Amino acid sequence: MIDRTAEAPPARRMRPDVQRSLDALLTAAAEVFASDGVDAPVRRITAKAGVGAGTLYRHFPQRSDLITAVFRHEVDACAEAAPALADQYEPVEALTRWLRHLARFVAAKRGLKSALHSGDPAYQSLPAYFMERFVPALTQLLDAAAAAGDIRSDVIPYDLLRAISGIVEPDDDAYTQRMIALLVDGLRYGTHPALPK
């Protein structure tokens, strides 16, 4: 679900009409993003929310602000899956599983991949938030695996996140998984010899 109060932490109290607009906007955007992807026309969102275009732009001057607000909780959940996996599996297995988790997350949000890599100013703050959450999560997994001597320690988490989100192919999960496996094997190369396949 979506947290309708997270938008203005400093504001003392929110005018009820603002609250309603924000509420309708976020709900509508979530539905539209889910069905039509994050590149869906603005008008479809405002129409579904029963709100004017001006209202949308007032609250979300950057398109990425709306996307961030809508996906915030899911991004957080994905990041928080990292420690859980680290507890449950051995380091490399946990790493692999989390990368797959991440890939499915990106793949599930149609258009998110291109938005992340477009460089379009309308999406400026989007990669920032993703990295802010995912870099620490991934760093933890990489460090654990490196400490165990299962992977090398010269890989930059940020690099790997970019690579994963670049590789993701929403319509071909099998391919995406093969490529993640290949990247993980790349991380292992140069450590102890591979076990027999």
Partner DNA sequence: TTGCAATACGGAACAGTGTTCCATATTGTG
Partner DNA sequence: CACAATATGGAACACTGTTCCGTATTGCAA
Partner from DNA, its own copies, none contacting 21, C-beta within 5 to 8 A by type: DNA
Q: Contact 46/56 with Cβ under 8 angstroms?
A: yes
Distances (CA, A) of 151 to 79, 101, 129, 197: 21, 20, 27, 17
Closest to DNA by CB, 97 vs 109, is 109
Partner from its own copies, DNA, none contacting 179, C-beta within 5 to 8 A by type: its own copies
Partner from DNA, its own copies, none contacting 140, C-beta within 5 to 8 A by type: none
Partner from DNA, its own copies, none contacting 136, C-beta within 5 to 8 A by type: none
> Which amino acid would we find at residue 104?
R
Q: Reduced to 3 states, what is the DSSP secondary structure of residue 9? A: coil
Assess 148 for contact with its own copies (CB under 8 A): no
Q: Minimal CA–CA distance to 116: which of 70, 177, 163, 157?
A: 163
Assess 104 for contact with its own copies (CB under 8 A): no
Closest to DNA by CB, 20 vs 104, is 20
The 111-130 site mask, x for binding its own copies (CB under 8 A), equals --xx--xxx-----------
Name the site residues for DNA (rule: CB under 7 A). 15-18, 20-22, 39-44, 50-55, 57-59, 61, 63, 122
Partner from its own copies, DNA, none contacting 32, C-beta within 5 to 8 A by type: none
Q: What distance, in Å, lies between the first and last C-alpha atoms of the chain?
A: 43
Q: Is 162 exposed, middle or buried (0-12, 13-18, 19+ CB in 10 A)?
A: middle
Distances (CA, A) of 36 to 31, 76, 78: 8, 23, 22
Q: How many residues bind its own copies (CB under 8 A)?
A: 31
Q: Reduced to 3 states, what is the DSSP secondary structure of residue 139? A: helix
Shortest Å distance, C-beta 121 to its own copies: 14
Q: Minimal CA–CA distance to 93: which of 141, 43, 41?
A: 141
Residues near its own copies, by CB under 8 A: 113-114, 117-119, 155-156, 159, 162-163, 166-169, 171, 175, 178-179, 181-190, 193-194, 197
